[in-house]
Structure 1
Amino acid sequence: MGSIRACVVGATGYAGIEACRLVLAHPALELTMATDRKQAGERLDAVYPQMAGACDLALSLPEPDAIAAAADVAFLAVPHTASLDLTPALLERGVTVIDLSADYRLRDPKTYEAWYNTPHTSPELLSQTVYGLPELNRAGLARLAERRAAGEAVLVACPGCYPTATALAAAPALSAGVAVGDLVISDCVSGVSGAGRGATARTHYCHANESVEAYGVGSHRHTPEIEQTLTDVAGRAMSVVFTPHLAPLTRGLLATVYLEAAPDATADDVRAAYERAYADEPLVTLLPAGSMPATSSVAATARAQVGVALDDRRRRTIVASCAIDNLGKGAAAQAVQCANVVLGLPETEGLLAPAPLV
């Protein structure tokens, strides 16, 4: 049993229950509290029978005082705006927050308000927040670890699933300069669990099964987050044409990005950029030349797989693809990865299990 007490807020959602599963198996963390407003009082293993024998907690209401009394770190697997209400209160009470929601990802509160149609009620926290994509921002997480070691409660804003996969696919080309221009095209496909536990007309079985469709075209809320991340990587203002697709998968996400190749960049140059970027990354695998990733290869894991090619014709284009599990590296597993760094633990603690083989 671990010695660092953890609470999962929003534990009955798909990302929340995945966070619970990972915390329960983690050698240094102990799940001491799980919350859900609608099902408070019910046992977690009654809501998810898969938890029988692994967790006997009853769900609680997400009250800041109770969370602070029970936990050192809180994973917030909640919809946007819910974190705005809870995070400041938890930080004031000394609880480190690993936020899976969108509320603190965007540095400009006006951008948040424009895309999420709600006021940002704690913009003063944005400058203290670290965007939790370890492969691109490990130094920022390490600074949070130093602050926490000095006794401060800190806040990590974990990326969305689409921004994670898009960034891992595009970043090496942008940072190495083998991609030029100010536009990235990102076509993404996600499993239905990415839409959350509540069924809608689009996500119930009869509609989603045996069908693939684009949605949120030109208007998806992850667009400014992707642009913010790629701008940071490239060192110049970047725009994205982002098109998400819903596929009849339970879990898994594939992002394929297209970037303009530098005039003198060869296929070997492009390959070398990705090899340098991911040679020492424990949770990102660059596939051999000629291979592209599949979502089944990373299902139920914290891992990402990346493939890259150069389409060397009249419009020379770098094509890079990244597969992640939308609930794993795209949500709960990435949150645990960030928590490991901030808590002073090995980054991959509790996250190295391979994907199921069948």
Structure 2
Amino acid sequence: MSIDVGIVGAAGYVGAELVRLLLDHPDFEVVAITSDADAGQTFASAYPSFSGVSDLVFTGHDDARLTECDAVFLAVPHTAAMALVPDLLSAGVTVIDLSADYRLAGADVFEQWYGVHHTSPQLLSTRFFGLPELFGDGLVAAAEQRAQGEPVLVSCAGCYPTATSLAAYPALDAGWIDSTSLIVVDAISGATGAGRTASARTHFCNVDENLEAYGVCRHRHTPEIEQILGAPGRVVFTPHLAPLKRGLLSTVTMVLSSEWASALTCEEAISRYRDFFNGRVFVRVMDEDEMPRTASVAGSNVCQIGLAISERTHSLIAVAAIDNLCKGAAGQAVQCANTLFGFDESRGLPLAALPV
């Protein structure tokens, strides 16, 4: 029996990626897609690549069918999810939220970085965090709760935090990194990460043949990365916009502790990372002297990780590449939903990238 799901915000790039993945999923049935701006139009009219594939029609965000779904995916901007989540949960609907509204554990931190009042802070202590490779036990607990008839809220990690945390977490977990040093993150994303609505920065004429930093010292993913890594006040995060459609590359530089500064080899680091991610089919730790490429993960739910050690500066450099729309958003949400409904986490998700 199929599992009925709805997608709120299906007109955006992440929402469209959700439609792409869920239409091919053997167990989920998309029964409602919403967009207030596009209500009444077919999904194929917004995305012609679905012509002849899907006859889905956009409805408004108030579509009553959402409350009849088994699960609803929210692909909406921050603050919009807060207006929807409590009512969906009250209706018994499990929610997989791709926005930032429930990612941070404290309402005070959210309000500091996002500049808005959190209207349902009580849900921050009961939500589950959607980064399966690092918080898989929580998702299993969420699945048990859902199986007992209780709806659950999963807040999926952001794209930059996903790549950065998968790159850095095993090293911190192993105790290799100096506990007082800064963790320096330089990350680059394609233009789809900014959403479908164009701005002066994301307009083709400005993106093409251009690379620039933005949100320097104030990007809202900073506290989320610090929360995941357990490193408050230590992350220097600088995102960059590249002339790409898909793709995200995060380079994390971490200073080794005095104990490991001269002892850790790249071979040992790779071995540890592979042990850490053993059984996680979407994470691939590369051989020594190999580094990830965004083109090698585009269209897939895969994260590639490359490692290098700077003997001169006693630093570990960890580089991760993901598709920002798939593993960084929609694919990760489906990966979480698979666990919630008792399926293998890889079910219905692409393991291979587009070859060219």
TM-score norm. by structure 2 comes to 0.96
Is the contact made by 2:270 and 2:285 (CA closer than 8 Å) also made in structure 1? no
Structure 1 letter corresponding to 2:47? Y
Shift of 1:281: 1.3
* Partner Cα distance (2:322, 2:242) in 1: 14
Indicate the SS of the match to 2:96.
strand
* Partner Cα distance (2:278, 2:66) in 1: 39
- What corresponds to 1:65 in structure 2? 64
Trace 1:1-358 onto structure 2 (pairs within 5 A): 3-63=2-62, 65-69=64-68, 71-182=69-180, 183-231=182-230, 237=232, 239-265=234-260, 266-267=264-265, 268-313=267-312, 315-358=313-356
Is the contact made by 2:186 and 2:237 (CA closer than 8 Å) also made in structure 1? yes
How many matched pairs? 351
* Partner Cα distance (2:274, 2:283) in 1: 11
Is the contact made by 1:201 and 1:207 (CA closer than 8 Å) also made in structure 2? yes
Moved more, 10-19 or 178-187: 178-187
Shift of 1:178: 1.5
Shift of 1:137: 0.2
Provide the aligned C-alpha RMSD in A: 1.2
Percent identity between the two aligned chains: 49
Report runs of 4+ in structure 1 exceeding 6 Å deviation.
Answer: none
Shift of 1:181: 2.2
Is the contact made by 1:65 and 1:93 (CA closer than 8 Å) also made in structure 2? no
Offset from partner CA, 1:87-125 (integer Å, 9 cap, x none)? 111000011100000000001001101111110000111
Shift of 1:269: 3.4
Structure 2 letter corresponding to 1:138? G
Shift of 1:194: 0.3
Is the contact made by 1:230 and 1:238 (CA closer than 8 Å) also made in structure 2? no
* Partner Cα distance (2:154, 2:47) in 1: 27
Moved more, 107-116 or 259-268: 259-268
* Partner Cα distance (2:250, 2:349) in 1: 22
Which runs of 5 or more structure 2 residues have no equivalent in the other structure? none
* Partner Cα distance (1:75, 1:148) in 2: 16
Structure 2 letter corresponding to 1:179? I
Is the contact made by 2:223 and 2:232 (CA closer than 8 Å) also made in structure 1? no
